[in-house]
Amino acid sequence: MNILVTGASKGIGKAIARELQSVGEVYVTGRNEKALAACNAKDFCVCDLSKDINSLAKFIEDKKIDVLVNNAGEYIYGALESMKTDEIMRVFETNLIAPAYLISKAIPHMKGQRWGRIINIGSISGVMGEAYASIYSASKAGLIGLTKSLALELAEYEITVNTINPGWVETDLGMNSIEESEFSKEEIIDTIPQKRFVKPEEVAKLCKYLISQDAKGITGQSINLCAGLSVGI
């Protein structure tokens, strides 16, 4: 099993890469070469998903990737009217366009062997919406639509496609987004039914399950891993 995890240099991606090393050959990609080298993966490809990703596309083809975890993400906070064009493009390119392109490069090999797993790491903001994070929310909502459609297209080849939507996760990205918002950490925790942040390892273990044969009947799903945040208050 050849696994590629994007955005694996830290946070959720790092936890996923570490967890999946017990079930296959793990390859990683991200922008920080030093951090990728420290992942103890089989190999890595330094790449910025908002720029030229042709080298990563070739990497996917060369390594015969049959499990693709699209984890890398870009977050931006602020009113839509204040966003610059390059900021909007960067978020969509990283969160939606790059995952779609990378999937397109992995599909031929998966179809050829009639087996594959595609896991997109979305966000609860793509399910519920988040004020002042409209671009981020829209890009993650797009991943859900991509997942559903691809699941239908690829089902006959025993390729499953699912999206995991984490809520507030205890990572640098999560904590930085709190600092950018108008709310304190305590105020945000108070809105979460379980009164806690999700751990990166929880997302990683769910990925491990979705890859397994036990989960072969799960496809086209949008799974909320959010400590109850999506249910209501």
| Each residue's pLDDT tens digit, 31-58 | 999 999 999 999 999 999 998 899 999 9
pLDDT (tens digit, 9 = 90+) per residue, 174-194? 666 666 666 778 888 988 999
What lies within 8 Å, CB to CB, of 3 at 6+ separation is: 20, 23, 24, 25, 26, 27, 65, 66, 67, 68, 69, 211
**Which domains, ranges and CATH numbers included, belong to the chain?**
2-170+199-225 (3.40.50.720)
Instruction: Provide mean pLDDT across the span 116-132.
Output: 95
Query: Mean pLDDT across the stretch 118-144?
Result: 96
In the annotation, is 157 catalytic?
Answer: no
* Candidates 27, 75, 77, 136; catalytic one: 136
Q: How confident is the model at residue 95 (pLDDT cuts 50, 70, 90)?
A: very high
- Give the residue among 72, 154, 70, 74 at the shortest CA–CA distance from 111: 154
Please report which confidence band the pLDDT of residue 171 belongs to, taking 50, 70 and 90 as the band edges: confident
Q: Return the ∠ at Cα 173 (arms to 196 and 22), rounded to 5°.
A: 80
